Amino acid sequence: MLVRGFVSGYDGETLTICVPFKDSDLLQQQGITECEVRLVDGRTITPAQRRKIFAMVRDIADWATWAKDKRQYQEELRRLQLLYLIDTTDSEAVRKQLEYHYCELLDINLFSLSNCDVSTARDFISYLIDLAVEHNIPCRDSLLNRCEDIERYLYACVANRRCAICGKKADIHEVERVGMGRDRRQIHHLGQLVQPLCRQHHAEVDQIGQASFDKKYHITGIRLDENLCKKLRWRV
């Protein structure tokens, strides 16, 4: 559920948010005690963001055209509400369908790419990238160049074992080394700093060093939480 509020105070360390909300039964029944806060800065979508969205939509439309006749992908297309698009090469129709699905998922009003705010555009780009990573949708450009939330992108790549550089099947590169002779099955990985890299890029980071690799690709590591550890089947 998405609810809107306003900033009512800030003391230098703590931000106070006021949100009008009358559904006390919902809070009690579901035991809601935490929330996420997305700050809207008021700026409108940039031309660069618009280009990224259109590029992602084009790649997803091309993939849907290829996948619609493949039985193993039909369920995914149905879940994405793309199965019933008569002409999936029509990027505009795919874009509208994806926007509708995104807004329905977040329970927000439909938005326009002509004047939506920067934060909405950034979140929509991340949603499209998550989609591509999860379903291994081939893209013309590296998703690392298209993402605007590097941490969220790395999280999706780790969860789906996709290389953050090229999108190929990845192993999990441990930025903080486990150490020689230690049994990975006996190590608690929660909080460990990692990067999802294919064999080629895994070899490259070993060859040129972590600092040079990070500088070359403008990439960082991400720390494993409980959810990622479970997906990787690593000890928490």
pLDDT of residue 8: 79
pLDDT of residue 4: 67
pLDDT of residue 38: 65
User: Computed from CA positions of residues 107, 112, 118, 124, in that sequence, does the dihedral angle turn out positive or negative?
Assistant: positive
Q: From residue 81, how far is each of 74, 88, 94, 139, 180 by CA, in Å?
A: 10, 12, 9, 20, 48
Between residues 32 and 211, which one has the greater pLDDT?
211
pLDDT of residue 154: 96
The residues, any chain, with a CB within 8 Å of residue 155's CB and separated by 6 or more, are 222, 228
pLDDT at 181 over 50: no
Which tens digits make up the pLDDT trace of 38-91? Answer: 666 668 999 999 999 999 999 988 887 777 666 666 666 666 666 545 445 578
Residue 147: beta bridge partners? none
Beta carbons of 143 and 151 less than 8 angstroms apart: no
Average of per-residue pLDDT across 217-231: 91
The pTM is what?
0.76
Tokens 């005690």, residue located: 33
Give the pLDDT band (50/70/90) at residue 196. very high
Which tens digits make up the pLDDT trace of 88-141? Answer: 557 888 888 889 889 988 888 899 999 999 999 999 999 999 999 998 899 999
The residues, any chain, with a CB within 8 Å of residue 217's CB and separated by 6 or more, are 144, 165
209: left (phi over 0), alpha (psi -120 to 50) or beta: left
Question: For residues 183 and 169, what is the distance between their CA atoms, to the nearest angstrom?
Answer: 24
User: If we measure between CA atoms, which residue out of 23, 6, 24, 28 comes closest to residue 15?
Assistant: 6
Question: For residues 84 and 93, what is the distance between their CA atoms, to the nearest angstrom?
Answer: 11
pLDDT at 180 over 60: no
Q: What are the residue ranges spanned by the domains of the chain?
A: 47-146, 162-232
For residue 106, the number of C-alpha atoms closer than 13 Å in the C-beta half-sphere is: 18
Beta carbons of 68 and 83 less than 8 angstroms apart: yes
User: If we measure between CA atoms, which residue out of 63, 2, 12 comes closest to residue 35?
Assistant: 2
DSSP string, 129-153: HHHHHHTT---SS-HHHH-S-HHHH
Beta carbons of 217 and 153 less than 8 angstroms apart: no
Highest mean pLDDT among 60-69, 168-177, 185-194: 168-177
